[in-house]
Structure 1
Amino acid sequence: MLIARLIADKEGLESKLDAASEALEVKGMRVAAATMLDFCGDVLQIMLPDGDAAVLRKVLDAHFKPSDLLVTQDAVEIPRLFVSDMDSTMIGQECIDELADFANLKPQIAAITERAMQGEIDFPTALAERVGLLRGLDESAIGRCLSERIEPVAGARVLVETLKSKGCRCVLVTGGFHHFADPVAEMIGFERVVGNRLGVAGGSLTGELAGPISDASTKLATLREEADNLGPAAGVLAMGDGANDIPMIAAADYGLAYRAKPKARMAADGWIERGDLTSVLSLLGIPKSEWVAS
């Protein structure tokens, strides 16, 4: 059974569903049922006896864009593990880009960040280049950047706290830095943080990392480690926005791309592009009455 849960504009919903169903029929995929979930009134659930998940996502995207979407092969269940990226996923900024602004280097560093997120250059190279450019920046700039620039995206804390209330362990894993990730995790409610550490000496950044690099392989390893600790029946939700997140998104039971770059979007089981992060709760079938307010 192939199941899609979709949140889209209600105007013209029936006609769009008819058109999407016809397009799927052409590809040999028959819609068996399509209903609005009675416990999440804005979620349309579409069920097919079988078919290709990637084709289903493509057809629904073509007819309902912009949408929030999750496609699964089985009944949707609340995950026991949530692993998320930080920059441009749980917060609306790229920390290193904002920090670079304090060194008057934001355009140069942001350009490297964008190429890495698009998958045009490998992450370790991009990270080393960007961190190197920050050499000599006063460590106090990090605190100012946190207080002046960094904010959680809408719905982040409600998402995490609600999942925790359902017995889900929440882990923040980032290619960014503990200087930012630790306060962000505390603010939103994550239980564990994995990330990079900026080298500091004499109150200034050294332009190097202190300790091993946290990259795409680290994100995947963290997901697998945490899932193994919970046991074989633990459903896993992973979310991110860039090329560095693809391995963990692909490995999760529910891999979601949040306002993501094209390569990450293609690797995911669905995406959040219309609403805020509370849309994840609706797609998982958690009624609003059970959400934990921020």
Structure 2
Amino acid sequence: MAGAGVRIADASMLDFCGQTMQIDSPDDDAAALRAALDGHFHPTDGLVCTDEPIVPRLFISDMDSTMIGQECIDELGDFAGLKERIAAITERAMQGELDFEQALRERVGLLAGLSTGAIDECLATRIRPMPGARVLVETLKKLGCRTVLVTGGFHHFADPVAEQLGFEHVVGNRLEVAGGKLTGGLAGGIVDSAVKKATLLAEMAMLGESATSLATGDGANDIPMLEAASYGIAYHAKPKARAAANGWIDRGDLTSVLRLLGIPQSQWVG
């Protein structure tokens, strides 16, 4: 692709339903091109890049509201009768209005005394993958991409979700447990936006300078990771995360990521 350009997937509003199209900017002004698309064709699924997209060597993703359709801590809060209160804090944190660590510790503290059995029940009855999540992960793996799930949520949820979807490595927080109940604290360090970015950079260092990376996320704590990736795609994201990323999915499911990368459906797994 010469100069800056946008690849648009499933742009039915342009009568290209089910297709991927490419628009080039003659003056290399990617920001202006994106602003024009947002102004005239919103919502869209798009990726701004200066070269033809390629299959990344690394895929790193957020979990809650990205790979799964729920915020685990909000659903767990429902078992404690505190969902509305906890969800309000979550929303403000994901919008970037609250300090992430402070908001996380406050929400976890509200869960003190909850039985670990609630986690198992929550996993079984509430937590569901986003449409297209497993297809995305398994297709990228088949094409030689390393897959990492990195979350400001908890290993109690992330480990089984990663196994279900096919992620090879998990980075997350650990809920502190004593006597079969949550203590209201966390064990070990906090996985925040800085850790998410550091995880991407560490993984990329092992793959070499020329390797490309893909990151997906939806909230303010994903912004440094999205900005550091070759392709940072904001998935049905909060405004700040969408604005920071060079890719966005407003309409489609997670298979739109494959379309944006130009991977034909004949190569998709499942």
Normalised TM-score (structure 1): 0.89
Counting aligned pairs with the same residue, the percent is 67
Q: 1:56 aligns with which of 9, 33, 38?
A: 33
**1:10 Cα deviation (Å)?**
3.1
RMSD: 1.3
Match status 1:150 vs 2:127: yes
Give the match for residue 164 of structure 1.
Answer: 141
Match status 1:278 vs 2:261: no
Whole-angstrom distance in 1 between the partners of 2:203 and 2:11:
36
**1:47 Cα deviation (Å)?**
1.7
Q: Secondary structure at the match of 1:197?
A: strand
**1:131 Cα deviation (Å)?**
0.3
Residue type at the aligned position of 1:209 = L
**Largest Rg, 1 or 2:** 1
The aligned length equals: 268
Give the match for residue 87 of structure 1.
Answer: 64
Alignment of 1:102-141 (within 5 A): 102-141=79-118
Whole-angstrom distance in 2 between the partners of 1:144 and 1:249:
32
Match status 1:232 vs 2:192: no
Give the match for residue 32 of structure 1.
Answer: none
Whole-angstrom distance in 2 between the partners of 1:187 and 1:147:
12
Whole-angstrom distance in 2 between the partners of 1:54 and 1:84:
24
**1:174 Cα deviation (Å)?**
0.2
**1:73 Cα deviation (Å)?**
1.5
Q: 2:50 aligns with which of 73, 83, 105?
A: 73
**1:67 Cα deviation (Å)?**
1.1
- Whether the 8 Å contact between 1:8 and 1:66 is mirrored in structure 2 is no
- Whether the 8 Å contact between 2:150 and 2:172 is mirrored in structure 1 is yes
Whole-angstrom distance in 1 between the partners of 2:12 and 2:149:
34
Q: Any unmatched runs of 5+ in structure 2?
A: none
- Whether the 8 Å contact between 1:5 and 1:70 is mirrored in structure 2 is yes
Q: Any unmatched runs of 5+ in structure 1?
A: 15-35
Give the match for residue 2 of structure 1.
Answer: 4
Deviations 1:41-66 (A, max 9, x none): 60111122442222211111222212
Deviations 1:62-91 (A, max 9, x none): 222121100102221111101100000000
